[in-house]
Amino acid sequence: MASNVTVTATSFKADARFAEFAAVADAVVTSWLTSCAQDMNVDRWGNKYDEGLSFLVAHTMVVMGVVTSSPSTGANIKSKTVGPVTIQYDVSTGASTGSDSDYEATTYGQMYLRKKRTLVRSPLVL
* pLDDT tens digits along 61-98: 998 989 876 555 554 555 666 777 766 655 554 444 45
- Ramachandran region, residue 5 (left: φ > 0; alpha: ψ -120 to 50; beta: rest): beta
Alpha helices in 1-126 (DSSP H): 9-14, 26-37, 42-45, 49-63, 107-117
14-28 mean pLDDT? 95
Residue 54: per-residue pLDDT: 97
**Contact status, residue 76 vs residue 104, Cβ threshold 8 Å:** yes
What is the pTM assigned to this prediction? 0.73
| 79 falls within a domain | yes
| 3 falls within a domain | no
**Contact status, residue 31 vs residue 64, Cβ threshold 8 Å:** no
| 111 falls within a domain | yes
d(CA 35, CA 18): 18
**Contact status, residue 66 vs residue 34, Cβ threshold 8 Å:** no
| 50 falls within a domain | yes
| 2 falls within a domain | no
| 125 falls within a domain | no
How buried is residue 95: exposed, middle or buried, by Cβ count under 10 Å (0-12/13-18/19+)? middle
| 122 falls within a domain | no
| 108 falls within a domain | yes
Domain interval for residue 58:
9-117
Q: What is the C-alpha radius of gyration for the chain, rounded to an integer number of angstroms?
A: 15
Mean of pLDDT over the chain:
81
Tally the domains of the chain. 1
Say which DSSP state 103 is in: G
